[in-house]
Amino acid sequence: MLSVLEVKRKLPKEFIEKLYENFTPLTVDKILSGMSGERSTTLRVNTLKSNIHEIMSILKENGIKFDRVSWYNDALIIKDISEKQLQKLEIYNEGYIYLQSLSSMIPPLVLNPIEGEKVLDLTAAPGSKTTQMAAMMKNTGYILANELDELRCERLRYNIEKQGANIVEVLNGRGETIGKKYENFFDKVLLDAPCSGEGRFLGTDAKTYRGWSERTVSELSKLQRKLFKSAYQALKPGGYLVYSTCTLNREENENIIEWALDNSNEMKIKTETINLNIKNIVEPISENIEVKKAIKIIPSRETEGFFIVKLKKLS
């Protein structure tokens, strides 16, 4: 574990400056503390193949300690063993569990897909949220999981097959074009957008932050707008869209939603309140009361930093 001062010295200077622009010094200290060392190993039970009680029994038999998660019945925080050790267990290799960060589990819970619905996962690899949604839907309905990168697409297919998520069709293509192909088709859309990944930074691991730059943030925010338009176009009137990122800055989060709400000639949407009792939430950086309905999670020992907003497409 590093001290807050050590984390501050390791991370990009411009990133630290941006944190102080957007958050109070106390919140910046909390964020940096959440980036000071390895995060807990967390998993989701794949309810298509097992259940929480069976998995807890197996973990106890193997002498593995865990904590429950108050806001998600099917999630566990594993104590004192690594992901690599968990990957040796049969329950992992048979797809009974999925190693996934707690924050990553939240967007599907907010979207809340149900049996029989048609759902789009616009940028889906490696499939954490895709397979979670298939389990929530009890493998009844249809999910289109799109991914641009071919190698990541293969990983997506592998995870879908391993988890037994047989309502998922995988598409290898540009997310920006899907809105035109599937106009007003989906009941619900998840846009977990490509982002600068600030919520996943660790001071102990240079590869988590090495690729970050203000230019990258700017370029990604342009892509996110294009993907948002496509997601909106693919969604039925009256349907729900969840936009999420694993980053902390305003440009890729609040600014995108402000832009979408302001662009009412092209997109008629409203934000929805999110009712989940999650720790480490700070208020979104916006004067817009609609944007304040989003949730912003700061990094901690148990959670990555994340931004999540739920929107309804108006008729």
244 near 306, Cβ under 8 Å?
yes
Tokens at 189, concatenated: 């859309």
Instruction: Return phi, psi of residue 287, to 5°.
Output: -85, -15
Contacts 24+ apart (CB under 8 A), 276-279: 276/71, 276/106, 276/109, 276/110, 277/70, 277/71, 278/71, 278/106, 278/303, 279/303
DSSP-based three-state secondary structure for 192: strand
Answer yes or no: 246 catalytic.
Answer: yes
CA-to-CA distance for 269 and 271, rounded, in angstroms? 7
For residue 1, give every residue at least 6 positions away whose Cβ sits within 8 Å of its Cβ, in sequence order, or none. 36, 37
CA-to-CA distance for 15 and 120, rounded, in angstroms? 33
CA-to-CA distance for 286 and 283, rounded, in angstroms? 9
Residue 293's closest CA among 262, 276, 272?
272
- Which of 160, 168, 190, 246 is an active site residue? 246
| Residues classed as catalytic | 246
